Amino acid sequence: MAAQMQNMLIPDKLPKNKEVEMAAIYLPHQNIGGDYYDYLQLSEDEFFFCIADISGKGIPAALLMANFQAQLRELVKKNHPTIDDLFQELNRGVLISTRGEKFITLFLGKYNRKTRILKYVNAGHNPPILVTSQGSKLLDKGSTILGMFENLPSVKLGQIPIVEDTTIMSYTDGLTDLENDKEQAFSMETLVNFMKTNYKEDVEHINRKLLTEIIRFKEKRNFTDDITVLTVKIFGKK
């Protein structure tokens, strides 16, 4: 039942059109995982996407995920005057729901196709990798994890002009913490180099190639954590 509920929270269809395409990998360590990703079209010109990692596993994590998704979608649709207000409310919601016993890392991005600006906040999450023909960038501006403090110390908004064929890979720490038989980690450096080599491909191909790579890398080791990847390509043509 909980696994079915969790599957209902994850988008069954991601956009694929002349302006943007998205694809995801979702590998829960158990039948029920603590990772979450989402996409929501806010208007004709704007959409948001996010990825989150909820502490813990099993049914408690799935229930917290369901509550968090509902809160996030409601708050995003309200069009808060500042990004700080949005994240302060999300933080309070997590703190109330978990009584400070669990936390959530979150990356949230909002893109406007008219301004061609990506605005984002990273709340303690592994930094997504943005790659273009001009180079790569880690999306690390934001705040601390949600649910740890009564008030977030500060929230910094990241803003990036999107050039043609911008590819963004967001992921959870199950990917970069993955180890092989030699106890070597699938590091951030490995992932950045992978993206630099493959960012021009379509997102489905990038994800299939990454999945093949991590299965090869881990050798005989089992997955020890949930692994979630959300790859976004914004074509950004004028």
Tell me the helices (H) and strands (E) count for the chain, helix number first.
6, 11
Give whole-number Cα distances, 158 to 8, 28, 103, 234, in Å: 30, 30, 22, 17
Model confidence at 9: pLDDT above 80: no
Residue 8: per-residue pLDDT: 60
Amino acid letter, 202: D
| Percent of the chain residues topping a pLDDT of 90 | 56
pTM equals 0.92
Residue 123, phi then psi, degrees to nearest 5:
-100, 80
Model confidence at 24: pLDDT above 90: yes
List of domains in the chain: 2-234 (3.60.40.10)
Taking the CA of residue 45 as centre, how many other CA atoms within 13 Å lie in the half-sphere pointing to its CB?
6
Residue 180: per-residue pLDDT: 86
Interatomic CA distance for residues 141 and 156, integer angstroms: 6
Residue 77: per-residue pLDDT: 81
Handedness of CA 187, 36, 61, 29 (dihedral sign): negative
Model confidence at 92: pLDDT above 80: yes
Burial grade of 171 (CB within 10 A; 0-12, 13-18, 19 or more): buried
Using pLDDT thresholds of 50, 70 and 90, give the confidence band for residue 11: confident
Using pLDDT thresholds of 50, 70 and 90, give the confidence band for residue 183: confident
Model confidence at 87: pLDDT above 80: yes
Q: Where are the beta strands (DSSP E) in the chain?
A: 20-27, 35-41, 46-54, 104-112, 117-123, 129-132, 135-138, 142-143, 158-161, 166-171, 227-234
Interatomic CA distance for residues 65 and 69, integer angstroms: 6
Interatomic CA distance for residues 181 and 175, integer angstroms: 15
Model confidence at 170: pLDDT above 90: yes
Burial grade of 139 (CB within 10 A; 0-12, 13-18, 19 or more): buried
Residue 62: per-residue pLDDT: 79
